[in-house]
């Protein structure tokens, strides 16, 4: 396994949770005006271009920067989660998604595709790498992300 | 989950994809943001005037980690951004910044201020450096004077050419 990249985007300072409201509104707008494929296009580009360093590590055989990315921002936003390791499989169990919880706490209706952002991003991050990322959405605020080597 | 810290990088990709379809697609999206922000803010600014603008942006400066000075005078409210966190993040980005990124700000501010009966002017100064000067006036003539003195005006709905980079 080659060396790990330092996490590319290491944010500090105040967390502005209300950006989740605009993400939700933007997903709703794109879906309404152009359809789900348009939302997925943006998310796939984000995975490919914005998160290039994470993909590069996955391609090099290292899933740790992806796991660090998941846990770092869950921690910054106060999202309850745990990390479980079993062989080459790493599971991040999110008991309370901070984005969905924030919106629900303010009476903002989650767009039908809001939860899907995680699934599409994760799939696109793993595309063309030796890893697969499985996203299990349990309900609006709970989900499990698993990264593991692709099975033959 | 897209972390709230990474929202502007998501936004930046949305702008690029819509602009690739045609600048009218991007501008329609910006108009929708302006409409939504107007519902939330225009009455507050109509009722509270320049003081309400000052209060709102003083809070934004803190919440969004801006390096900026906000000032209230008898004639205008000013936000002098020394380091815009939004453009800074979009530039610190392996995907690269959308060339008209800065215009998204005035794209929502302008309709909000119009609905509030106020006059906003944004001097971006540069599209590649994260600083700008934004003022709100009660008097349209004073706003026009500041507009005429601006180095690089943001006019998101005027189909202006991208210049001054």
| Residue B90 CA: distances (Å) to CA of A10, A57, B6 | 14, 22, 9
Residues of B in contact with A51 (CB under 8 A): 94
Cα–Cα dist B114/A12, whole Å: 35
Chain B residues within 8 angstroms (CB to CB) of chain A: 1-11, 13-14, 16-17, 28-29, 32-33, 36, 62-65, 92-96
pLDDT at position A11 is 87
Split at pLDDT 50, 70, 90, the class of A12 is: confident
pLDDT at position B107 is 97
Cα–Cα dist A133/A119, whole Å: 9
DSSP A91: E
Nearest CB to A8 within list B2, B63, B94: B94
| pTM (predicted TM-score) | 0.93
Report CB contact under 8 Å: B6, A9.
yes
Domain residue limits, chain B: 4-149
Q: In what order do the strands lie in the sheet with B67-72?
A: B67-72, B76-83, B132-137, B119-123
pLDDT at position B164 is 45
pLDDT at position A151 is 86
Q: CA torsion, points A138, A133, A40, A107, in degrees to nearest 10? A: 30
Report CB contact under 8 Å: B62, A13.
no
Q: Are A140 and A99 in contact (CB under 8 A)?
A: no
pLDDT digits (tens, 9 = 90+) for A16-38: 999 999 999 999 999 999 999 99
Report CB contact under 8 Å: B5, A25.
no
A23, A27, A34, best to mutate vs chain B, most B CBs in 10 Å: A23
Nearest CB to A118 within list B1, B33, B94: B1
Cα–Cα dist B33/A24, whole Å: 12
Q: Which residues lie below 8 Å from residue B161, measured CB to CB, with a gap of 6+?
A: none
Cα–Cα dist A45/B93, whole Å: 13
pLDDT digits (tens, 9 = 90+) for A63-116: 999 999 999 999 999 999 999 999 999 999 999 999 999 999 999 999 999 999
| Residue B64 CA: distances (Å) to CA of A18, A105, B78, B148 | 10, 21, 17, 29
pLDDT digits (tens, 9 = 90+) for B34-49: 999 999 999 999 999 9
pLDDT at position A107 is 96
Residues of A in contact with B4 (CB under 8 A): 15-20, 77, 99
Split at pLDDT 50, 70, 90, the class of A7 is: confident
- Domain at B4-149: CATH code: 3.30.1380
Q: Are A76 and A102 in contact (CB under 8 A)?
A: no
Residues of A in contact with B26 (CB under 8 A): none
Residue of A112, A129, A125, A122 lying closest to A143 (CA atoms): A122
- State the DSSP H helix or E strand holding residue A31, giving kind and residue range, or none if neither: helix A19-34
For chain B, which residues score pLDDT lower than 70? 159-165
CATH number for A18-149 (one of 3.40.50.12500, 1.20.1420.30, 3.40.50.700, 3.30.1380.20): it is: 3.30.1380.20
């Amino acid at each position: 396994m080659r060396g790990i990249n330092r996490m590319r985007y290491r944010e500090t300072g105040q967390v502005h949770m209300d950006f989740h409201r605009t993400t939700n509104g933007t997903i709703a707008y794109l879906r309404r005006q152009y359809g789900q494929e348009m939302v997925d296009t943006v998310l796939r580009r984000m995975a490919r271009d914005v998160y290039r360093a994470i993909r590069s590590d996955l391609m090099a055989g290292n899933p740790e920067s992806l796991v660090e990315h998941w846990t770092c921002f869950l921690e910054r936003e106060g999202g309850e989660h745990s990390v479980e390791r079993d062989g080459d499989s790493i599971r991040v169990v999110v008991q309370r998604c901070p984005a969905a919880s924030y919106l629900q706490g303010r009476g903002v209706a989650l767009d039908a595709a809001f939860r899907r952002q995680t699934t599409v991003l994760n799939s696109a991050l793993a595309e063309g790498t030796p890893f697969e990322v499985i996203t299990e959405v349990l309900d609006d605020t709970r989900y499990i992300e698993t990264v593991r080597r692709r099975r033959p | 989950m897209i972390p709230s810290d990474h929202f502007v990088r998501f936004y930046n990709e949305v702008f690029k994809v819509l602009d690739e379809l045609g600048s009218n697609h991007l501008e329609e999206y910006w108009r929708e943001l302006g409409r939504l922000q107007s519902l939330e803010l225009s009455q507050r600014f109509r009722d509270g005037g320049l003081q309400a603008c000052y209060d709102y942006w003083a809070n934004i400066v803190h919440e969004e980690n801006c390096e900026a000075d906000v000032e209230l005078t008898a004639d205008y409210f000013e936000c002098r951004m020394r380091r815009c966190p939004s453009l800074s993040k979009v530039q610190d980005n392996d995907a690269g910044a959308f060339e008209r990124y800065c215009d998204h700000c005035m794209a929502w501010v302008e309709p909000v201020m119009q609905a509030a009966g106020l006059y906003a002017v944004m001097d971006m100064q540069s599209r590649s450096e994260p600083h700008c000067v934004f003022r709100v006036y009660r008097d349209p003539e004073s706003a026009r004077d500041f507009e005429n003195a601006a180095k690089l005006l943001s006019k998101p709905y005027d189909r202006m050419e991208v210049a001054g980079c």
